[in-house]
Amino acid sequence: MSLQMNQSLSVDCAVFGFDGKVLKVLLIERRYWKPDGRLDRLKLPGAMILENETLPEAAYRVLKEATGLENVYLRQLEIFSDPQRVSGEELAWINRYHGIRTERVVTVSYYALVKLDPHTVAFTTAAGAQWVEVESIQHLAMDHKQILAAALSSLCREMLQSPVAFELLPRKFTIRQLQDLYAAVLGIEIDNRNFRKKILSSGFLTPTREKEHGVAHKPAQYYTFNRSAYKRAVREKLRLGFINNWKY
Amino acid sequence: MSLQMNQSLSVDCAVFGFDGKVLKVLLIERRYWKPDGRLDRLKLPGAMILENETLPEAAYRVLKEATGLENVYLRQLEIFSDPQRVSGEELAWINRYHGIRTERVVTVSYYALVKLDPHTVAFTTAAGAQWVEVESIQHLAMDHKQILAAALSSLCREMLQSPVAFELLPRKFTIRQLQDLYAAVLGIEIDNRNFRKKILSSGFLTPTREKEHGVAHKPAQYYTFNRSAYKRAVREKLRLGFINNWKY
């Protein structure tokens, strides 16, 4: 038993990345996995929290270790506190792996969004992690499939309500890339022309002078996200609500 | 040390009620309080979670014990995980009170909204709890003042965005009561005529045939909250968002 480690509380992070075609999540192989297949091999990055850190600190620590990144878009999701969420062999694995003796672990789940640039991909791959297409995942260790589902559903909701999509794209992107991202995450087909019209009329995209090069089709223009235009619009929108516009 | 009780995790609940004039919160006296005043006497209802329950189950258990109520409007707030949030004499109090030996406690905070009907007031008073005007509270045990502040700020935000106010009012209420509630929680003055016009035009209030009786002024009409009209409007509003109305 480590005095440093809390025996009851962990954090688990679903780290999403977009490779231009599909939505991926970062998975790590768990150590002491039984090769007879009685335990699922892959899991989300996570850790028991340390006694001297807050939950967000623990989550950022996990992210740093898994991705090498420090300023990551990170949001807390649900707390998974079912007393049986890890039990039997899974619980035995946790106790063995951490050298602790606990009867239950409550986990606070997070989701993170990272840009899949070559540096980050190289770091994660060197660390033995892998980027797996979310759609293809059938099983994960413990209740991590359920945590992933919660993270994905939160990402879908967030992408419809706020501009988190840009956390997954390079700083300069084409409208087609943005559309492909929405289509991949939401699992829908999106009408090109309508999407283009809507997103441009939002005023949230600033055209750059750059265009794609080395592509077979007509080179598309690169845009950047205009965060200050977005913030202005949000301030405007905040005045709306259940009861609004009454004179104070 | 109890095998039943988790040593690391607690829940704390800010239970709000409205007496028609001011916003109140339910406080309990803590046992083993030192009369020399070195520890604050009053705290929010809370408990260490049991090993066989989820966090929401623990929160509902605390609420049932504190108010006698089962179907309470309850929402999770932040997790307070500062390693130093209870320390020194406060930590010693927790260990003594629960007969445990922990070095830190992470608490998940909740806020609840109850109707201050005579039955509920009688139950809480008989249980030794007290309804205290939120505005008047200077200190609370541990970091409960901070938890209360988070709960209050969440309540303000919720009241502007969703119809939670009706959880604090009797089923039938006057528009004046609703306005007084908004004014009390938000700490603002509200223009009568404008509020009345806005709230009636929302379509969310259904007039009843009843009016106040035994009042000195002109008796006001009672209304009920039309939850289905509200839900319809929300479904409509959900179609709006960051990017909306494109054709799938």
For residues B132 and B15, is the Cβ–Cβ distance under 8 A?
Answer: no
- pLDDT band for position A246 (cuts 50, 70, 90): very low
Q: Residue B85: name the closest of A81, A62, A55 by CA.
A: A55
Phi, psi (5° rounding) for residue A218?
-60, 125
Which residues of A touch chain B, with CB atoms under 8 Å apart? Answer: 6-9, 49, 51-56, 76, 79, 81-83, 103-104, 106, 108, 159-163, 182, 188-191, 194-195, 198-199, 202, 241-248
Measure the N-to-C terminal CA separation of chain A; round to a whole number of Å: 58
Cβ A163–B242 below 8 Å, yes or no?
Answer: yes
| Closest Cα in chain B to A241 | B161
- The pLDDT tens digits of the residues spanning A45-97 come to 999 999 999 999 999 999 999 999 998 999 999 999 999 999 999 999 999 88
Q: Residue A201: name the closest of A209, A190, A193, A211 by CA.
A: A193
- pLDDT band for position B198 (cuts 50, 70, 90): confident
| Closest Cα in chain A to B234 | A242
| Closest Cα in chain A to B178 | A243
Query: Which of B243, B247, B248 is the best residue to mutate to test the A interface, defined by the most A CB atoms within 10 Å of its own CB?
Result: B243
Least confident of A3-7, A103-107, A227-231, B180-184: A3-7
Instruction: Give me the residue from B49, B159, B243 closest to A198, CB to CB.
Output: B243
Q: What is the pLDDT of residue A248?
A: 40
Check pLDDT > 50 for residue B88. yes
Q: What is the pLDDT of residue B236?
A: 72
Q: What is the pLDDT of residue B238?
A: 57
Give A-chain residues touching B192 at CB under 8 angstroms: none
Q: What does pLDDT average to over chain A? A: 90
Give B-chain residues touching A191 at CB under 8 angstroms: 246-248
Please calculate the CA angle A106-A111-B86 and round it to the nearest 5 degrees: 45
Cβ B247–A191 below 8 Å, yes or no?
Answer: yes
Q: Residue A169: name the closest of A116, A228, A227, A118 by CA.
A: A116
DSSP 8-state assignment for residue B30: P
Interval A176-203 mean pLDDT: 90
| Closest Cα in chain A to B187 | A248
Tokens linked to A22: 């599909």
Query: Which of B200, B246, B248 is the best residue to mutate to test the A interface, defined by the most A CB atoms within 10 Å of its own CB?
Result: B246
How far apart CA A12 and CA A62 sit, in angstroms, is 8
- The pLDDT tens digits of the residues spanning B11-61 come to 999 999 999 999 999 999 988 777 676 778 899 999 999 999 999 999 999
How far apart CA A3 and CA B200 sit, in angstroms, is 60
Rounded to two decimals, what is the model's pTM?
0.87
| Closest Cα in chain B to A52 | B83
Phi, psi (5° rounding) for residue A54?
-80, 170
- pLDDT band for position B2 (cuts 50, 70, 90): very low
DSSP SS3 for A118 = helix
Residue B191 CB contacts under 8 Å (≥ 6 apart), including other chains: A246, A247, A248
Cβ A83–B53 below 8 Å, yes or no?
Answer: yes
Residue A148 burial class via C-beta count within 10 angstroms: exposed 0-12, middle 13-18, buried 19 and up:
buried
Cβ B182–A245 below 8 Å, yes or no?
Answer: no
How far apart CA A101 and CA B34 sit, in angstroms, is 35
- The pLDDT tens digits of the residues spanning A115-152 come to 999 999 999 999 889 999 999 999 999 999 999 999 99
